[in-house]
Amino acid sequence: MPLAVVGVSHRTAPIEVRERFAFGRAEMAPALLAATGGRAGEAVLLSTCNRTELYLALPEDGFSVEQAQAILAAKIGETAQGAARWMYVHRDRQAVDHLFRVTSGLDSMILGEPQIQGQVKEAYATAREVAGPSGPVVGSALNRLFQSAFAVGGRVRSETGLGHGAASVSSAAVELAKKIFGSLKGRRALVLGAGEMSETTLECLRGEGVRTAIVANRTFDRARELAERWGGEAVRLDDFGTALPAVDIVICSTSAPHPVLTRERLRRALPGGPRQPLCIIDIAIPRDVEPAVGDEPNVFLYNIDDLTQIVDDSLDRRRAQLPAAEGILAAEVEEFWAWYASLAVVPTIRALREHGERVRLAELERAGRHLAHLSERDREAVEALTRSLLNKLLHAPTVRLRDAAGNGRGTAALDTLRYLFELDHPPPGDAGPERDETMTEARE
C-alpha cells in the first residue's frame, strides 16, 4: 500500500493562502472520509497555521493521490491544477522522511519548535476517531508511521540540542526572566501598553506560572479588557508607578513616542531602589524605557535588540545541531522503510507457500494409490517428508525476498518470483489476504 503526503506549508505558500487551506475540527472527518474514498485506505489530516497536509496510505487500486490533491484544492475553491503551484506531494520513503522532519521540528518555520509534535498528535488522535463504511481511516500503516514519527521527534529533541534555547522574542523574554527569578511561579508582572506584542509575551509568562498581571494602558477600557482576560487588574498608564513596588517583571510595549519609564520616575516609585531584582522587558519601538534605568541597582533592563540577539544565538546553536538530527532521521527513515517495504512481499510469500502446498497435496494424492500398502505410520512419515522438503525449498526464497524488500530490490525480485511460479493466476475462489492480516503477519 503506497504512502503519500499531499499538502501546503510555509515553504510553499504565503500566509494568505495557507489560512484558506486550514481545516476546522468539524471539517476533518468529512475530509478524511473523502480522502480515503470510502475504500480501504488510510488518512490523517494535519492542519496548523503553518501547514495543511494529508497523509495517505492508499491501496493500489484505491483512491489516488491526485484525487486527494483535488480535495485540498477544493478547500480554497480551486481545481487541483489551479492549486498545484502551492502544493507538494511526497511518496513512499520521501513521505516518511517528510513526516519525521515535521514531528522533529526540522520542517518548522522556527527550527526545532516543540508545538508541532503536539499538533501532529492531535491530528492523529482526531483521525483515529473517524470511521467510514470500510472501517477506521487510520489502520496499521499510518498507526505505525505516526507512532514512529512521535518516537523520532522525541529522540531528536532529547539527543540533540535542537529544541534548546529561546526561538522567539516572547520566549527570549521568558528565558531572561527565568535566568533572574528561576521559577516564575507566583511572580507578578506589570504590562505597559495593551498591544498584541504585550499580550503574546504575557501569554508566555503566564504559561510559566506568572500569576498576577497589572495592565496599564493609555486607553483604560483596553487595559481592563486585557486584565480581565488574564485575571489581573487594570490601572491608568499615568498611575503605573504605584504598581511598580509590587511587581517582579515589567513588559513595555506602548506606542508612546517618548520614554514612559524614566530613571526619575523609577526612583520616585521605588525610593532606595528595588528590594528584589526587577526585570524590565522593553519591546516597544521607539523604546518605552530610558536606557539609564538599566543602570539602577537590581534593575535588569532588556530591549528588543537584546531579545533578538538571544533568539539569533539560540537559532545558530540549533542549526549547529542539524547534522546530528539529520543522522537520527536518516537512520529512522531507513528502519521504518525496511519494515514497511517488507509488507509488500507478504502476499507473494503467502501465495508462494499456498502454491507449494497445493502442489504437495496434489502429488501426495496422485501417489496415494501406489502407496496404499503403506502402514498409517509410514504414510505419516511420507507426509512429514514432503512438508519438510517444501519448507526447506521455500525458506531461502522467503528470506531473500524479505531482504530484497528491505534494501530496495523488492519489486524486481517480486516480479521474477511471481512470473516463475505463475503466482498471478491464483486458483478460483482465492480472494487474497485482508489488509490487517497482512500487517499482522509481517510483524510476526
Partner 1 sequence: MTGPLHGLALALYAAAALLLALSLARGSRRLALLATVLTGGAVAAHLGALAAYGARYGELPLVGLGPSLSVLALLIGVGSLGVATLGRTGPVGLILVPAAALVVAAAEFAGVRPSGEVLAFRGPWFVLHVTLAMVGYAGLTVAFAAGLMYLVQFRELKAKRFGAVFRFFPPLDTLDRLGRRALLVGLPFLTLALIVGWAWSARFHRPLAPGNPKVIWGVLTWLVFAAALGVRAGGGRRGHRAALASVLGFAVVVAAYLLLRLASAPAGGEFL
Residues 310-339 touching partner 1, rule: CB under 8 A, are: 310, 313, 317
Based on the shown chain and the rule CB under 8 A, indicate whether residue 179 belongs to the binding site for partner 1. Answer: yes
Tell me, what amino acid is at 17? V
Based on the shown chain and the rule CB under 8 A, indicate whether residue 181 belongs to the binding site for partner 1. Answer: yes
- 3-state DSSP call for residue 61? coil
First to last CA, the chain: 18
Residue length of the chain? 444
Tell me, what amino acid is at 424? D
Dist CA 42 CA 40 (whole Å): 7
Interface with partner 1 (CB under 8 A), residue total 24
Nearest to 164 by CA among 327, 321, 325, 324: 321
Do 190 and 248 touch, CB atoms closer than 8 A? no
- Pick the stretch among 121-129, 197-205, 302-310, 338-346 that binds partner 1 (CB under 8 A): 302-310
- Is 49 one of the annotated active-site residues of the chain? yes
Based on the shown chain and the rule CB under 8 A, indicate whether residue 273 belongs to the binding site for partner 1. Answer: yes
Based on the shown chain and the rule CB under 8 A, indicate whether residue 256 belongs to the binding site for partner 1. Answer: no
Do 245 and 272 touch, CB atoms closer than 8 A? no
CB of 403 to partner 1, least distance (A): 36
Based on the shown chain and the rule CB under 8 A, indicate whether residue 165 belongs to the binding site for partner 1. Answer: yes
Decide whether 39 or 268 has the Cβ nearer to partner 1.
Answer: 268
CB of 298 to partner 1, least distance (A): 5
Decide whether 317 or 409 has the Cβ nearer to partner 1.
Answer: 317
Cα-based distances in Å from 174 to 76, 161, 258: 38, 19, 25
Among 81, 298, 388, 416, indicate the residue that binds partner 1 (CB under 8 A).
298
CB of 159 to partner 1, least distance (A): 9
Based on the shown chain and the rule CB under 8 A, indicate whether residue 178 belongs to the binding site for partner 1. Answer: yes
The three cell numbers of residue 312 are: 539569533
CB of 161 to partner 1, least distance (A): 8
CB of 306 to partner 1, least distance (A): 5
Decide whether 208 or 403 has the Cβ nearer to partner 1.
Answer: 208
CB of 247 to partner 1, least distance (A): 15
Nearest to 52 by CA among 142, 120, 148, 118: 120
Residues contacting 442, CB < 8 A, separation 6+ = 339, 342, 343, 346
Residue with cell 517618548: 258
Based on the shown chain and the rule CB under 8 A, indicate whether residue 441 belongs to the binding site for partner 1. Answer: no
Residues contacting 375, CB < 8 A, separation 6+ = none
- Pick the stretch among 196-204, 217-225, 274-282, 374-382 that binds partner 1 (CB under 8 A): 274-282
Do 346 and 185 touch, CB atoms closer than 8 A? no
Interacting residues toward partner 1 by CB under 8 A? 161, 165, 176, 178-183, 272-273, 275-277, 294, 297-298, 300, 302, 306, 309-310, 313, 317
